[in-house]
Amino acid sequence: MTPLIVALDFPDAQAALRMADRLDARQCRVKVGKELFTRAGPAIVESLQQRGFQVFLDLKFHDIPATVAGACRAAADLGVWMVNVHASGGRAMLEAARDAIDVKIGTPPLLIAVTVLTSLNASGLAEIGCTANPTAQVIRLAGLAADAGLDGVVCSAQEATELRQHWPTLLRVTPGIRPAGATADDQRRIVTPSAALAQGADYLVVGRPITAAADPDAAMAALIAEMGPASVR
């Protein structure tokens, strides 16, 4: 299985499934985010699983501990492979999420923390009362996630190297991936798949370079070729 996770950022189930039907479940996992899930509900997760895909449910839960625990239990019952929460929800919330997932019989989903949204820069953080610089805040929240027993964090490739030094076993899930020569879209800091793996990413989240390509199959094949031997894990 490769480290590739394809972000199915589509507005409805039909479009998402049309894309999924062009992908090979042996070559990637898929990510279902807030827009698709809000439109299509748990049925889209089940449809993808029936097609053989392991699903990363990217709903970034952030609420009081009991509510997040309930949401994590529901995700585990759906049989998703990975689910995430905001580390800034605090220790009690993270531990409640961990405990809720651990009661799942069989293989529980991987529980991943979002640290600082990449859309927030230093002044955006200051505006919500956080005067730490964004990188220091990422490290602080990753430490909290590790302490609470989470399996990994979402992070940029740049952050992955530092996080690997501090917490080698914490999985690093990295968006902002663009093959050499591809358009950046709205991503501000991009790296190639092979560079991201070299910098310490364990999983690569790739959306538009595959889903918006004229030929998604060819884009996927090129991406896998570019990752080289590291793509087989």
Question: Does the protein bind ligand C5P through residue 135 (CB under 6 A)?
Answer: no
Whole-angstrom distance, CA of residue 72 vs CA of residue 121: 29
Question: Pattern of binders to ligand C5P over 17-46, x per CB under 6 A?
Answer: ----------------x-------------
Q: Return the exposure string of 13-43: e unless at least 16 CB atoms fall within 10 Å of the residue's CB, then b.
A: bebbbebbeebeeeebbbbbbeebeeebeee
CA 194 to chain CA centroid, Å, is 18
Active site residue 104: no
Among 89, 152, 175, 200, binds ligand C5P (CB under 6 A): 175
**Is residue 109 within the footprint of ligand C5P (CB under 6 A)?**
no
Integer Cα distance of 185 and 18 in angstroms = 22
Whichever of 65 and 175 has its CB closer to ligand C5P, that residue is 175
Report d(CA 17, CA 202) in Å as an integer. 26
Per DSSP, 191 falls in state: B
The stretch among 22-30, 47-55, 136-144, 203-211 that binds ligand C5P (CB under 6 A) is 203-211
- From the list 31, 34, 60, 104, the catalytic residue is 60
β-pair type (110-114, 203-206): unpaired
- Under rule CB under 6 A, residue 152 binds ligand C5P: no
Complex with ligand C5P: residue 51 or 189, whichever CB lies closer: 189
Q: How far is the CB of 58 from ligand C5P (least distance, A)?
A: 7
List of residues contacting ligand C5P (CB under 6 A)? 7, 9, 33, 118, 154, 175-176, 185, 187, 205-209
